[in-house]
């Protein structure tokens, strides 16, 4: 990795970190508190063949979170399918919910101050496809290094004197296709690239063809603009 690429990457990481802090600051206060509880509270559970409602009620009272069970959960899964057996100690609340819900093909989504438990196929997974023209990001950068001058030896040049000029290096491109696609995967969309099988990124002839949710498309657009600023 050359010096220019290192500087570009460092500048981008700083800009992305600053943007992440700003986005966190702008997050709805209720949602921020819910996220903090999910990511910091640790809980111990010991249930054997317990009704689903009993387990969720315990988590609700322990955490203080507003948790609602969507009606489709009960319409799709019978009482026996919803029973919970779990024994854990001092595990993060987020991980506990994932353990309980994933085995039943359920997930939790945040809606207007409430953590709603829904079937996974009811989670917001809709996607749209958009094309981004990023050919300008792959244009080679000119360093204008100047010519290399070599004096000609009269004895080896048939008695002629003078100088020979040649460029010392070719223009180079800082951003590669692999670099760009990896940057998009790593800095937009969170885990949606892995969890939503409908998402996709294809780069062909300088055109990015991306299938993602509308909110992630906004993140991608901002990232591409940052790349143009720091190119």
pLDDT given for residue 192 in this prediction: 80
Tokens of 81: 């399918």
**Averaged pLDDT score across all residues of the chain:** 78
| CATH 1.10.3720.10 for domain 41-121 | no
DSSP three-state, residue 189: coil
Cβ atoms 175, 8 nearer than 8 A: yes
- Please tell me the pTM assigned to this model: 0.49
φ, ψ at 117 (rounded to 5°): -90, 120
Compute CA distances 140 → 81, 136, 144, 174, whole Å.
59, 9, 12, 7
DSSP 94: H
Per-residue pLDDT of 89-110, as tens digits, reads 999 999 999 999 988 989 888 8
Instruction: Flag whether pLDDT at 203 surpasses 60.
Output: yes
Q: Which residue has the higher pLDDT, 99 or 143?
A: 99
pLDDT given for residue 151 in this prediction: 52
pLDDT given for residue 107 in this prediction: 87
pLDDT given for residue 231 in this prediction: 61
Per-residue pLDDT of 150-199, as tens digits, reads 555 555 545 555 555 454 555 555 567 888 888 898 888 887 887 777 78
Q: What is the mean pLDDT of residues 129-147?
A: 72
pLDDT given for residue 8 in this prediction: 53
If you count DSSP H runs as helices and E runs as strands, how many of each does the chain have, helices first? 9, 10
Domain ranges of the chain: 41-121, 125-230
Instruction: Flag whether pLDDT at 83 surpasses 70.
Output: yes
Mode of pairing for the β-strands spanning 114-119 and 67-69? parallel
pLDDT given for residue 50 in this prediction: 95
Rounded-to-integer distance, Cα 3 and Cα 11, Å:
12
pLDDT given for residue 172 in this prediction: 53
What are the start-end ranges of the H helices in the chain? Answer: 3-26, 29-40, 52-63, 71-76, 79-82, 93-102, 177-187, 192-195, 214-230
């Amino acid at each position: 990795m050359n010096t220019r690429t290192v500087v570009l990457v460092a500048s981008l990481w700083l800009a992305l970190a600053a943007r992440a802090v700003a986005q966190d600051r702008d997050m709805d206060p209720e949602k921020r508190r819910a996220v903090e509880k999910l990511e910091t509270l640790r809980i111990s559970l010991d249930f054997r063949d317990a009704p689903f409602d009993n387990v969720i009620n315990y988590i609700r009272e322990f955490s203080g979170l507003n948790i609602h069970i969507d009606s489709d959960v009960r319409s799709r899964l019978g009482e026996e399918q919803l029973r919970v057996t779990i024994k854990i100690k001092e595990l993060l609340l987020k991980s506990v919910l994932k353990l309980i819900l994933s085995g039943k093909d359920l997930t939790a989504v945040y809606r207007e101050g409430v953590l709603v438990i829904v079937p996974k196929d009811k989670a917001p997974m809709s996607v749209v496809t958009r094309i981004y023209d990023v050919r300008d990001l792959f244009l080679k950068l000119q360093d204008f290094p100047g010519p290399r001058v070599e004096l000609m030896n009269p004895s080896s040049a048939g008695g002629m004197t003078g100088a020979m000029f040649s460029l010392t290096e070719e223009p180079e491109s800082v951003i590669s296709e692999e670099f760009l696609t990896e940057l998009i995967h790593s800095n937009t969309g969170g885990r949606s690239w892995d969890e939503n099988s409908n998402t996709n990124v294809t780069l062909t002839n300088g055109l990015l063809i991306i299938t993602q949710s509308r909110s992630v498309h906004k993140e991608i657009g901002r990232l591409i603009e940052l790349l143009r600023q720091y190119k």
